[in-house]
Structure 1
Amino acid sequence: MSARALIIGAPRSGSGKTSVTIGLLRAFARRGVKVRGIKTGPDYIDPGFHEAATGAPGLNLDSWAMAPELLRHLVSEHAEDTELLIIESAMGLFDGIRSEPGRTGAASDLASLFGIPVLLVLDVSGQSRTAAAIACGFVHYDPQVRIAGCILNRAGSERHRHLCTDAINDIGLPVVGTVLRDPSLTLPERHLGLVQAHEHPEVDAHIDRLADAMEASLDLDAIFAAAAPLHIPSGSAELALAPPGQRIALAQDAAFTFLYPHLGRHWRACGAELVPFSPLANEAPADGCDVCWLPGGYPELHAGRLAAADNFRTGLARFAERHPVHGECGGYMVLGEKLEDADGVTHRMAGLLSHGTSFAKRKMNLGYRQATLLVDGPLGRKGDRIRGHEFHYARVVSPGHDEPLAQIADGLGTPIGPSGARRGLVSGSFFHAIARGEID
């Protein structure tokens, strides 16, 4: 089966890309199309909605963190037994960092690398013919990126729709439909983005409403025709993050959710077994596992329950006497001595590392990171370079006395300093690992 692909892009965040993407995924699935979603950049929440819309696992692709050969491998793998890939851009279509060509992290990198056309979502609220000027800029900004058409979003009336559509058609760009303003189509958000799909109380009904809106408003046949067949050279998984063990005890519940889909899939493909357990249910890592992984999530929303989970804490401590334990972001917070929640209440955590964190004293940390490991561990060997990112509002309020896990730099290579902590077989950091960096 030869898959077709299309990127859903926009001038900025908040234009409605996610609602359009989710609605299209469900609408095509209703038609019997084998459709799957992909999210560009390090957003680990939206792939959950893509999966909820289609029943097929989602994927993140990041042109900065992932080398081209790994991108080719992941896209080819995701396109297996698929007719249509809908790729949702993060932020604006061309928004990335100033890096080498094709490695900026922007969705436009994927458009040029794989020859995937872009369907532009324009939020036309507060404008009319100016929408055509914006669309014209997108058409001519980068000759390697082909804009195949536009979706108008949040139009206020039929007259408004006609004004925008006529102006855009006049520059030779087709408009494949218009979604009228409807606040009920908006997805709920919180401090790290959307409320996750599995937490939405009526996620399936909401996705159905989005699909109904897309079916009523957009030309699905024209959208499918705008997608281009994928012709991708073979790639390589050499720079994928290796499984940290053969049997991986994986914390998995409402407090620990942020494991990238490509990591779990690659670890299983390498023969590893993921053994989930729930700290919120007071469960400890299973006997017989050889490593424990505490992913990111929202421990600050569940700090009281985690503090009361005595079996989890004592079982984790016993496990750490014999096997490696690694925590990313929220997992790193739980491995420390204490966590202060948004109300200023301090809760006891696992105490396997000596730092303390606070969500009450908040500061947003956001950006790509390059980590050089200072010790062997679950992320790799000493000296390995790992590419990933940070996105958190919590901060370290007491640094503790453990040795750092890595030296980190930003996406441009500017040194930031030591990051994370390690003690014995326990390690952690606010850093989310995505892929291995290239070897010089």
Structure 2
Amino acid sequence: MSAPGLLIAAPRSSSGKTTVTLALMRALSQRGLRVRAAKCGPDYIDPAFHQAATGRPSFNLDSFAMAPPLLDALARDTVTDADIVIAEGSMGLFDGVRAAENRTGANADIAARYGWPVVLVVDVSGAAQSAAAVALGCRLYDPRVTIAGVILNKVASARHRRLVEAGMERAGLPVLGALMRDAQLVLPERHLGLVQAGETADLQARLDRLAELAVAGIDLDAVVAAAGGGVPETGGALPPPPGQRIAVARDAAFSFLYPHLEAGWRMAGAELVPFSPLADAPPPDACDVCWLPGGYPELHAGRLAGASRFLDGLRAFARSRPVHGECGGYMVLGRTLEDAEGVTHAMAGLLPVETSYRRRKLHLGYRVAHLCGDSLLGQRGARLIGHEFHYASELSPAAPEPDALARVTDAGGSELGFAGHRIGPVSGSFFHFVAGDSD
């Protein structure tokens, strides 16, 4: 029998979804429930916090980037061996791209597909009864979605709470709990979102504190009772591995590898062998491919430039075996990386790429890529879906078609030109791969 689920969403970004989600996950886990987590949309950082809170892996569920069979496979794995599923939304509940119904990338698509009721986190700072009008609009906007109730966040006082609750009562929306305004609840952030779970000081203590606040301020019995829905019994296959023994860079500079890719690679029999460039470790020689994920190389550019064993080992590896870099990994495969202070650091020099974090510009959005040639991502002509999210600028010219990784469009089909490079067995781009068109 499929475990029931809930989607924690909000009318807009920065409402406190992650805080409330982690508080609920930790509190319910401490009750002895087997809690499984999921994250709607493209996000590397939140799933790691989910795993820290629950002790179990968290997959991304993305209705734009993932075809329905892959979505169902990941959702089926999520509900297996669970008592309840807590999925965290991204941005606002209905925010997505213009696409076919149920394929917009919005949180609402996931809630509707699996019948998971929505718990709406409402930031009530600067509002009282008017907050109920916003919540009511969310309840009425999409008939596919059921709003089970609201959790009030950033409540200023007991009087403020009474006023907000009066508005919610008038709108017919149950209040499942409230968290007071508290700066200590805010998790540390940097330019791509939260500081990573592995770098957050006293993370377990922070999660336990959130659980205490959930016990004190949220009706956990009502939250559990509100869960519902179900997941189909069948699903598709996960994306295949790029090799049999995959050297994967993994440390504070390289950490953005989607959990569903790792799971799919292992299910297909591949072995993932981690190594740390920041510890000056080269790719293990016994591996047949090397994967440099995204992350924060711009924050560690000096250490990476001085990691001679890593750089020399990477160059030697690339002479005979494929190497691929995504986003931050792509920057390290290039010739130079300029840090925030304007200091230019030499990188591996395997691709004719020069990047700068000092010349910051936000690049954000879904990408649809058509591969220009064979690479670790697939064969020439393959259609892949992923996203781009970085502040670095590429100073070097784009590769011409024979040497580009892919021709890309945005989610609406607007042409963005050629992206990335392929030089011999080395490839890379700022494109983060999520799934193939048929996955």
The corresponding residue for 1:342 is 340
Aligned amino acid, residue 234 of structure 1: T
The corresponding residue for 1:351 is 349
TM-score (norm 2): 0.98
Deviation at 1:432, TM superposition (A): 0.1
Q: Secondary structure at the match of 1:14?
A: coil
Q: Secondary structure at the match of 2:64?
A: coil
Equivalent pairs: percent with the same residue? 58
Deviation at 1:407, TM superposition (A): 0.4
The corresponding residue for 1:330 is 328
The corresponding residue for 2:270 is 272
Structure 1 CA distance, aligned partners of 2:398 and 2:106?
37
Deviation at 1:170, TM superposition (A): 2.2
Residues 150-182 of structure 1: CA distance to partner in whole angstroms, max 9, x if unpaired?
A: 001111111111111122122221111111111
Deviation at 1:112, TM superposition (A): 1.1
Q: State how 1:302-313 maps to structure 2 within 5 Å.
A: 302-313=300-311
Give structure 1 stretches of 5+ with no counterpart: none
Q: Secondary structure at the match of 2:144?
A: coil
The answer on 1:53 being equivalent to 2:53 is yes
Residues 260-312 of structure 1: CA distance to partner in whole angstroms, max 9, x if unpaired?
A: 01100110001000000011111111122110000000000000110011111
Structure 2 CA distance, aligned partners of 1:8 and 1:251?
32
The answer on 1:248 being equivalent to 2:257 is no
Structure 1 CA distance, aligned partners of 2:354 and 2:132?
52
Structure 2 CA distance, aligned partners of 1:128 and 1:204?
33
Q: State how 1:8-27 maps to structure 2 within 5 Å.
A: 8-27=8-27
Structure 2 CA distance, aligned partners of 1:249 and 1:399?
29
Structure 2 CA distance, aligned partners of 1:201 and 1:163?
37
The answer on 1:148 being equivalent to 2:180 is no
Aligned amino acid, residue 299 of structure 1: P
Aligned amino acid, residue 363 of structure 1: K
Deviation at 1:233, TM superposition (A): 4.2
**Structure 1, 384-393 or 399-408: larger mean CA deviation:** 399-408
Count of aligned positions: 437
Aligned amino acid, residue 40 of structure 2: T
Q: Secondary structure at the match of 1:389?
A: strand
The corresponding residue for 2:176 is 176
The corresponding residue for 2:315 is 317
Aligned amino acid, residue 48 of structure 2: G
Aligned amino acid, residue 171 of structure 1: A
Q: State how 1:223-234 maps to structure 2 within 5 Å.
A: 223-234=223-234
Aligned amino acid, residue 160 of structure 2: H
Q: Is the 8 A contact 1:72 1:232 kept in 2?
A: yes
Residues 232-273 of structure 1: CA distance to partner in whole angstroms, max 9, x if unpaired?
A: 241111xx4320000000000110000001100110001000
The corresponding residue for 1:132 is 132
Q: State how 1:14-413 maps to structure 2 within 5 Å.
A: 14-237=14-237, 240-399=238-397, 403-413=403-413
Structure 1 CA distance, aligned partners of 2:233 and 2:433?
26
Deviation at 1:114, TM superposition (A): 1.2
Q: Is the 8 A contact 1:357 1:395 kept in 2?
A: yes
The answer on 1:6 being equivalent to 2:12 is no
Structure 2 CA distance, aligned partners of 1:286 and 1:400?
31
Aligned amino acid, residue 328 of structure 1: E
Structure 1 CA distance, aligned partners of 2:317 and 2:207?
41
Q: Secondary structure at the match of 1:228?
A: coil
Aligned amino acid, residue 82 of structure 1: A
Q: Is the 8 A contact 1:241 1:379 kept in 2?
A: no
Deviation at 1:399, TM superposition (A): 2.7
Deviation at 1:438, TM superposition (A): 3.7
Aligned amino acid, residue 391 of structure 1: F
Structure 2 CA distance, aligned partners of 1:32 and 1:436?
38
Deviation at 1:68, TM superposition (A): 1.1
Q: Is the 8 A contact 2:9 2:118 kept in 1?
A: yes
The corresponding residue for 1:433 is 433
Structure 2 CA distance, aligned partners of 1:158 and 1:127?
14
Q: Secondary structure at the match of 1:257?
A: strand
**Structure 1, 117-126 or 397-406: larger mean CA deviation:** 397-406
Q: Is the 8 A contact 1:139 1:147 kept in 2?
A: yes
Structure 1 CA distance, aligned partners of 2:416 and 2:397?
16
Q: Is the 8 A contact 2:398 2:419 kept in 1?
A: no
Residues 379-403 of structure 1: CA distance to partner in whole angstroms, max 9, x if unpaired?
A: 0111101100000000111237671
Give structure 2 stretches of 5+ with no counterpart: none
Aligned amino acid, residue 213 of structure 1: L
**Structure 1, 430-439 or 120-129: larger mean CA deviation:** 430-439
Deviation at 1:111, TM superposition (A): 1.1
Structure 2 CA distance, aligned partners of 1:31 and 1:233?
28
Structure 1 CA distance, aligned partners of 2:18 and 2:246?
32
